[in-house]
Every structure is written in structure tokens, then in C-alpha cells.
């Protein structure tokens, strides 16, 4: 489990992260979202002992990273996939890491296979790796110690669509086996597809957090459409459900889909479409929370709480 409590990090007068608190539970993937400079990397670097918190704490299984015995066996970290020696091969990088961690050579082959770098790619020098291959190697390094926790900063950066799909499966499988994943990404659709929990940060402050279903819950009523719009409206109003005009001759009913379905069924009215009216998804949520005129982050969080 990852626990961030009232974490603040200042660089001189620059406040990178301000009073950030959230937890990541075993068995879940947490998507950590925010615009450039929001404080994602600083939070993750504080969590793995690469930045010293000005105040507050960031712990893994109740301990600071540097206090964990052999932390690489407990936490897999991918912060900057480019930060490797260009003259080494992928296999050499992993073999050196395996020696440092005290894991067997077999594990090197295991993770090379797991990330799709087995065979010839493993023998190539990193200078000849594509960005996507470097990301795969970074993931292999993170997985090497068979950790229970993964902290990944932009792991999908540079992966092609097939690679992104593959990574989604890898992270989902890791969490489903009881692992804890904290994942930052700019790829909102990707995060939406894989994360159970979302934490949105902007200007160093958390502006929203919760399960994906909580944050993306549709509060915009139910869109309903049928061949006889007037009859449909009457059926809903008779059932005490308010209606307003929707797009393209549809109606937006001020009730959940189940209540709308029950009302039209009771009235014997034909419908051709019935679905949540909003469904704007993560992109709209992200924009509304992180745009510079979104106002006070605390207020936004309270609205969503
Ligand atoms: N070593 C540092 N010295 C001074 N300021 C820093 C340092 N590291 C980060 N910052 C500042 O802290 C703020 C948060 O940066 P951070 O890298 O954590 O954001 P981020 O959300 O990871 O951004 P990105 O999506 O661009 O990677 C930024 O304003 C950044 O300029």
C-alpha cells in the first residue's frame, strides 16, 4: 500500500507539491493525472526517496522507501526510461540490476520475455533502442525484483498502440494478483481504461480523487429517444420525471436509466435509445479540473467528494 500524507515539497520559493494526500490500495491501479508541471513527478520522486519532502510523508507498506529492506524487491520504479547507459545492451542492464537486487539470472530472462524484449532486442545496445523499447526495458527493470508495488511515471510514453494495449494487460494482471500500481500518464484514455482509482493534481494540489466510477459518474440525467416524442414526454411526466429537450429530437430525463425504463415500459411507449445523457468522460473532467480558470482546487474537490 502507498500512503501519501500532507506531502509538501518546495524548491526555494517554488512550491512543487502542496499538502498532497492519497492512498493506493493493493489490488488496484491508481491513475495519477495532471498537466505539465502539476507535481506528479515530484510526488513520485518523494515516494521513492529521490526528493526530500519539505513536510508530510510518503510511505510504502508503512515505511519510507529508504527504510525498506532491499527496496527494489518491494517496489518497482520507472521514472525516466531514458536514464540508462547507451553503450550497454538491454540484457546487460538487467543483469547488473539483478546482481544488485540479489535475484537469479533466470529472472532476467523472465522479465525480458514479459516485456517482449527476449531474443535479439535483448542483445542490442540501448543507443539503438527506440523510445518504446527503452520503456519496455524500464518496465522490465521495475519488475525484476518481483515487487508488490509499482511506481511508474509515464510508462506508456513512446509505446505504439499495440504496446499500450500490452502494457494495460500487464498492469491489470499485476494488480489483479494483489499488486499496487501508481501510474502517471498524459494518455487519458489509457488511464481511463486501466485505472481503478484516479488522483488529479493541478498546480501542486489535489483537485479530485476517487474511484473511476465515482469521478466519472454521470450526473447529467438519461437521454431517451423514441418515434413519438410527445408520447414519450407525457409518459415520463406522468411518472413524475422531469424532461428537457435533448440533441436531435431526443429528450433528457431527470432520472436514472432504470427509472426511465420503468416509466416508459409502464406506459407501453416505444423507445429506440436510452443511455446516460452526459458521458463526457475523463477528458472533460480533466479539462474542467485543471484549466487555469477552474478556480480553487479545494472547492472542486469538495464538489466531487
Ligand atoms: N529540481 C527542481 N528544482 C526546481 N523546481 C522544480 C524541480 N523539480 C520540479 N520543479 C518544479 O516543480 C513543479 C512540479 O514539477 P513536476 O516535474 O513534479 O511536474 P509534473 O506533473 O511531473 O510535470 P510533467 O507532466 O511535465 O512531467 C514544476 O513547476 C517544476 O518546475
ipTM: 0.96
Query: What residues contact residue 156 under an 8 Å CB cut-off, 6+ apart?
Result: 135, 163, 164, 167, 185, 187, 190
Q: Which atom of ligand 1 is nearest to the CA of 201?
A: 21
Per-residue pLDDT tens digits for 134-191: 999 999 999 999 999 999 999 988 888 888 999 999 999 999 999 999 999 888 888 8
**Rounded to 5°, angle at Cα 73 from 68 and 78:** 95
Q: What is the mean pLDDT of residues 246-265?
A: 90
Evaluate if residue 280 carries a pLDDT over 70.
no
Cα of 91 from ligand 1 centre, angstroms: 32
Evaluate if residue 33 carries a pLDDT over 70.
yes
Cα of 43 from ligand 1 centre, angstroms: 9
Q: How confident is the model at residue 32 (pLDDT cuts 50, 70, 90)?
A: very high
* Distance (Å, whole) CA 56 – CA 264: 54
Can you give the pLDDT at residue 20?
Answer: 97
Q: Whose CA is nearest to atom 7 of ligand 1?
A: 11
Per-residue pLDDT tens digits for 108-129: 999 999 999 999 999 999 899 9
For 26-43, b/e burial (b = at least 16 CB within 10 A) is eebbbbbbbbeebbbbbb
Evaluate if residue 219 carries a pLDDT over 70.
no
Can you give the pLDDT at residue 278?
Answer: 65
Q: Whose CA is nearest to atom 24 of ligand 1?
A: 36
Can you give the pLDDT at residue 304?
Answer: 39
Cα of 15 from ligand 1 centre, angstroms: 9
pLDDT, the chain, mean: 88
Cα of 37 from ligand 1 centre, angstroms: 5
* Distance (Å, whole) CA 277 – CA 51: 44
Evaluate if residue 300 carries a pLDDT over 80.
no
Q: How confident is the model at residue 287 (pLDDT cuts 50, 70, 90)?
A: confident
H-assigned helices in 144-239: 161-176, 188-194, 212-215, 229-238
High-pLDDT (> 90) share of the chain, %: 66
Residue closest to 204 by CA, chosen among 10, 29, 5:
10
What class has domain 222-276? alpha beta
Evaluate if residue 193 carries a pLDDT over 90.
no
Lowest mean pLDDT among 134-143, 241-250, 269-278, 294-303: 294-303
Q: What is the mean pLDDT of residues 31-60?
A: 94
The pick from 4, 7, 15, 16 for probing ligand 1's pocket by mutation, whose C-beta has the most ligand atoms within 8 angstroms, reads: 16
Q: How confident is the model at residue 298 (pLDDT cuts 50, 70, 90)?
A: very low
Q: Which atom of ligand 1 is nearest to the CA of 15?
A: 12
* Distance (Å, whole) CA 128 – CA 38: 32
Q: Which of 296 and 38 is assigned the larger pLDDT?
A: 38
Can you give the pLDDT at residue 296?
Answer: 40
Can you give the pLDDT at residue 218?
Answer: 56
CATH superfamily of 2-74+147-215: P-loop containing nucleotide triphosphate hydrolases (3.40.50.300)
The pick from 15, 40, 44, 47 for probing ligand 1's pocket by mutation, whose C-beta has the most ligand atoms within 8 angstroms, reads: 40
Can you give the pLDDT at residue 303?
Answer: 34
Query: What residues contact residue 3 under an 8 Å CB cut-off, 6+ apart?
Result: 23, 57, 58, 59, 60, 62
Q: Which atom of ligand 1 is nearest to the CA of 34?
A: 21
* Distance (Å, whole) CA 107 – CA 113: 10
Domain residue extents for the chain: 2-74+147-215, 222-276
Q: How confident is the model at residue 295 (pLDDT cuts 50, 70, 90)?
A: very low
Evaluate if residue 3 carries a pLDDT over 90.
yes
* Distance (Å, whole) CA 87 – CA 105: 21
High-pLDDT (> 70) share of the chain, %: 91
* Distance (Å, whole) CA 75 – CA 55: 23
Phi and psi at residue 115, to the nearest 5°? -100, 5
Amino acid at each position: 500500500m502507498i500512503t501519501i500524507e500532507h506531502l509538501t515539497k518546495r524548491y526555494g520559493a517554488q512550491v512543487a507539491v502542496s499538502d498532497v494526500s492519497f492512498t493506493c490500495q493493493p489490488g488496484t491501479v491508481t491513475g495519477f493525472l495532471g498537466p505539465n508541471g502539476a507535481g506528479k513527478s515530484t510526488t513520485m520522486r518523494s515516494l521513492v526517496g529521490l526528493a526530500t519532502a519539505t513536510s508530510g510523508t510518503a510511505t510504502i507498506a508503512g515505511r519510507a522507501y529508504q527504510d525498506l529492506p532491499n527496496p527494489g524487491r518491494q517496489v518497482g520504479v520507472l521514472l525516466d526510461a531514458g536514464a540508462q547507459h547507451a553503450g550497454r545492451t538491454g540484457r546487460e542492464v538487467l543483469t547488473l540490476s539483478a546482481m544488485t537486487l540479489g535475484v537469479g539470472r533466470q529472472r532476467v530472462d523472465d522479465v525480458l520475455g514479459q516485456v517482449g524484449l527476449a531474443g535479439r532486442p535483448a542483445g542490442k545496445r540501448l543507443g539503438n533502442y527506440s523510445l518504446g523499447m527503452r520503456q519496455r526495458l524500464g518496465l522490465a527493470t521495475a519488475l525484476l525484483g518481483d515487487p508488490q508495488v509499482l511506481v511508474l511515471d509515464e510508462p506508456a510514453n513512446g509505446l505504439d498502440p499495440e504496446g499500450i494495449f500490452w502494457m494495460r494487460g500487464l498492469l491489470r494482471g499485476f494488480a489483479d494478483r494483489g499488486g499496487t500500481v501508481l501510474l502517471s500518464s498524459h494518455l487519458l484514455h489509457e488511464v481511463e481504461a486501466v485505472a481503478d482509482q484516479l488522483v488529479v493534481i493541478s498546480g501542486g494540489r489535489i483537485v479530485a480523487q476517487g474511484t473511476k466510477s465515482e469521478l466519472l459518474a454521470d450526473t447529467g440525467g438519461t437521454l431517451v429517444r423514441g418515434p413519438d416524442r410527445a408520447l414519450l414526454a407525457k409518459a415520463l411526466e406522468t411518472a413524475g420525471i422531469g424532461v428537457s429537450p435533448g440533441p436531435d429530437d431526443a429528450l433528457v430525463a431527470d432520472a436514472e436509466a432504470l427509472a426511465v425504463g420503468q416509466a416508459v415500459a409502464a406506459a407501453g411507449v416505444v423507445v429506440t435509445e436510452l443511455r446516460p445523457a452526459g458521458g463526457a468522460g475523463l477528458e472533460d473532467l480533466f479539462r474542467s479540473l485543471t484549466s487555469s480558470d477552474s478556480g480553487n482546487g479545494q472547492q472542486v474537490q469538495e464538489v466531487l467528494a
